Amino acid sequence: MKIAIGCDNAAVSLKRILNDFLATQKDIQIVDLGVDSEDDLELYPNVAERVALEVASGNCERGIILCGTGLGMAITANKVPGVRAATCHDVYSAERARKSNNAQIITMGARVIGPEKAKTVLKAWLESEFAGGRSAPKVQRIVEIEQKYLSIEK
Ligand code: RB5
């Protein structure tokens, strides 16, 4: 599985830890889209956009985006058509984000979650797949609503 990862300056340390963790997992290829230093103050929406585009284009199956809270990254990534990004700081939400919402992107906040729990949450999200069934028409409805507002003339 090819996964894009990115962070802002608030989550550089967490990204390093999660990259090391991902390197121990089977069949995972990481595309790291920065930032790589706490001194790099690139605005978080730029990073979120890069990761979201990798996923929306099909170049990567999944994305991981980290910031202080995970919130700004999810808000931004969800602006990119085709992307479903969910902020998850617990295992149950991470599983449901895949099984119910088919979220291809997980966001987490380095100021919210510690590294060990972040690894556990990430593992649950990586190992969960979309369940389809009763969730399928709901996710399809998200896609339709997105299409509806994309076609509104500016
Ligand atoms: C810092 O820029 C902080 O706003 C950011 O890391 C993130 O928490 C945004 O949602």
- Check residue 152 and give its pLDDT: 78
List the residue whose alpha carbon is closest to atom 8 of ligand 1.
68
- Check residue 153 and give its pLDDT: 67
- Check residue 151 and give its pLDDT: 83
Task: Measure 26 CA to ligand 1 centroid, in angstroms.
Answer: 31
Q: Check if 60 is active-site.
A: no
Distances (CA, A) of 63 to 32, 102, 131: 10, 12, 19
Side-chain-side CA neighbours of 75 within 13 Å: the count stands at 7
List the residue whose alpha carbon is closest to atom 9 of ligand 1.
72
Task: Measure 77 CA to ligand 1 centroid, in angstroms.
Answer: 14
Distance, C-alpha 115 to centroid of its chain = 16
Single pTM value for the model:
0.97
- Check residue 52 and give its pLDDT: 98
Identify the structural domains of the chain with CATH numbers, from first to last.
2-150 (3.40.1400.10)
Amino acid (1-letter code) at residue 154:
K
Mean pLDDT per 10-residue run, the chain (154 residues)?
Answer: 98 98 97 98 98 98 98 98 98 98 98 98 98 98 96 72
